[in-house]
Amino acid sequence: MASTPTPRPLTFGGEPLTADRARRMRWTATGMLAAMAVIFFTTHGLVGDHWAWGYVNSFAEAAMVGGLADWFAVTALFRHPLSLPIPHTAIIPKNKDRIADTMAQFLQENFLTPAVVARRMSNMNVARALGDFLTMAPERGDSSDPRSRITSGAAELLAEVLESLDPERLGNQVRSGLAGQIAKLEIAPLAGRMLESAMVDRRHQPLIDGFVRWAGLTIEDNEETLREIIHKRVAGVLRWAGLDKTISSNVLDGLYKLLAEVLVDPDHPLRFKIEEGLQKLGQDLQHDPETRARVESLKIELLENPAVAEWWLGVWERARLSLIRRARAPESGLGQEMRKSLADLGHALQQDERLQHQINRFARRTLVGIATRYGGQIVKLVSETVKRWDATTITGRIESAVGRDLQFIRINGTIVGGLVGMTLHFITTVVM
């Protein structure tokens, strides 16, 4: 059996403000009724002493009757007056199921039908309102920025999500997803087109220059090894004559000179040979089945290599920890970047009418779709929730919401009743 929901007090700033004000007004109305009763009985014996006492006594008498009548009417809405089972009293507790159905029907007919939602949304500029909020400046005396509250909450949420997820499992899932997409993609034709495009725009020259510099540095770092290789390859007579050192020096000097000439001369023949090789490679990557098959095979081997998987997990873990640190560190700049992005989005929403139209249309269609698909479920949820409340709960909620105004009815009934009593006393004693 489902537990009965308990009412929550209506609060403002942590205080049950509405209930307290209604209670104070109830005591005020009851105090006025008691005061009228005291005045009536006090002045009843003084009516013959002076004509004014008759008006006072008539006012108190009628006010007491009016206050009692309105007290009975107000009390009968929520409970039995004086706990007596008088017919047609405790109206709200007895009819709470009908009230629930009426509330649900009112909600559906006035708010959750697709036509009503579309009509109300057509007059609303949701995108402009969102833009105004995102560009809103903090009020005087309030250092908080709406964008700061949004970004701080989003950053903390991002950090908590990243901390709660299993790093290895999530990293493997991301790697598997990327590997699956890369496996479907033919890299060879794409690389070939990129290479051809780079050569047409002469953007391959820095690549050649970098390769030449790398070759020169590699030779310089391994110069002793190259000298040893040349020493072993030359004939014994040359080694005996000491010419091997001269030959190795000449060879290395020639290599250095050749690389330097290639580097400074954009029209060097060796540079043209390299370009011819790159052009052929670009053509083979696009049109040669054997070359494409080798590239695809190399791609699959790399994707399935455990070392690549381990490298990816390391990259992912470093990125995850860096995001967590940046999200939680105010000085990291992540929040400032997010605030700037939100402000730019707000300005765009304020100024771009086309963007406003698209977002407003999307919001309208989304809410109409929600009303169409889930309007009945929302209405049913409201009705069933109210029906599950017990009589005390629904009485307390309604009385807390409108109880203060109902006590004004009692006060007004007391005053109006007294004025009517004075008027009748005047008519019966003076006019008639």
Q: Specify if 85 maps to a domain.
A: yes
Q: Specify if 200 maps to a domain.
A: yes
Domain stop point among 283, 304, 325: 304
- The pLDDT value recorded for residue 14 is 39
- The pLDDT value recorded for residue 9 is 44
Three-class DSSP labels, 221-255: HCHHHHHHHHHHHCCHHHHHHCHHHHHHHHHHHHH
Q: Specify if 362 maps to a domain.
A: no
Q: Are residues 197 and 288 in the same domain?
A: yes
Domain stop point among 249, 270, 304: 304
Domain stop point among 275, 304, 333: 304
How many residues are recorded in the chain? 432
Q: Specify if 344 maps to a domain.
A: no
Query: What whole-number percentage of the chain has pLDDT above 90?
Result: 6
The total of structural domains in the chain comes to: 2
Q: Are residues 210 and 90 in the same domain?
A: no
pLDDT tops 80 at residue 134? no
Give per-residue pLDDT as tens, 161-207.
777 766 666 666 766 777 777 777 777 788 888 877 877 777 777 87
Q: Specify if 280 maps to a domain.
A: yes
- The pLDDT value recorded for residue 34 is 92
Q: Cα separation of 424 and 54, whole Å? A: 11
Q: Specify if 205 maps to a domain.
A: yes
Q: Specify if 273 maps to a domain.
A: yes
Per the structure, the complete domain to which residue 22 belongs is given by 17-94+389-431
Q: Are residues 180 and 90 in the same domain?
A: no
Q: Cα separation of 4 and 137, whole Å? A: 45
Q: Specify if 104 maps to a domain.
A: no
- Cβ density class 93-119: b for 16+ within 10 Å, e for less: beebeebbbeebeeebeeebeeebbee
